[in-house]
Structure 1
């Protein structure tokens, strides 16, 4: 099975520029950010509730506790929210028209209903298509997240846990390698 392509920095900027032009730009941006900065699967993004991400005071949680029902393997896990994602989620909170409904979907359709994972996949495909990024999919952000962690020296065991994988071989398949990375690796010697 062909892996989702990982967009480079220029392509990611182009994707975000396209997102700004969309009707629901704040929602679409946070979808992309959850994929790239937290490594979430589309099903996990679609399942999130406002209360999973924001506390009773409306502050961004430091950790998102993914319930077992949200995850692919039906195993609960914790997602750590980094500083970049925290800033994005703080900006996104300003898009709520009224007080936060903590039981409402974090990401909702124009009819205020939760997205299905399939519909969210289609949205990702549409955004990548508009940005002219071939081979990318809803899994591209997740692959980017895992690959960046690996290239920054994070232990594969830690990456495996953050990704919610049961097997190291699964995590290893996500890590992309290119000539520049191999060049840097041999320069360490």
Structure 2
């Protein structure tokens, strides 16, 4: 994504309202999952489209604690381990329970998590178009398929120090090859900058 014109960030209120609004779409469970993969795991459209069940399941077929995003699904060689957020885990479990009886574990591993009604897999452009339509209908102007990812990265950067981490950890979660790229994604606040100088 060109960072000259960055996707708009989502506030907590906007995220909650948007998540609920997806209940009115044609395939609410799938669409909620797509949104959470963006805003709670920071995945790109390409990564959402390329994610398979094998990347989130253990050898016994249970949900893992992390998404093992492989290079085949990521941008360049930015495959990585992403801890699964609690809300995202519930949505993944719901989807898994709905399809588990329809395929063997071996078949399930290669199956794309996000599918359309007509195809067994989808493309990054379809994901981009979905977000564009959803955000437009919700009146969230300036938002795109990258808004959830940028919101995830910004929120992670703001909170990482509270769990003993650093911006390097956020860089890893984002799958960025350089820290500078991660920094450009983050939306800073002048109020926070004023407060932090009194803490150092």
Structure 2 length as normaliser, TM-score?
0.85
CA distance in 1, matches of 2:78, 2:42: 16
Aligned to 1:164: 175
RMSD: 2.0
Q: 5+ residue gaps in structure 1?
A: none
Per the alignment, in what secondary structure is the counterpart of residue 46 of structure 2?
helix
Contact 2:29-2:91 at 8 Å conserved across structures = no
CA contact (8 A) 2:154 2:186 kept: yes
**Within 5 Å, which residues of 2 pair with 1:1-189?**
1-96=4-99, 98-100=101-103, 101-152=108-159, 153=161, 154-179=165-190, 181-182=192-193, 184-185=195-196, 188=199
Match of 2:143, SS state, is coil
The size of the alignment, in residue pairs, is 189
Runs (5+) with no aligned partner, structure 2: none
SS in 2 for 1:87: helix
SS at match of 1:70: coil
Contact 2:47–2:73 under 8 Å retained in 1:
yes
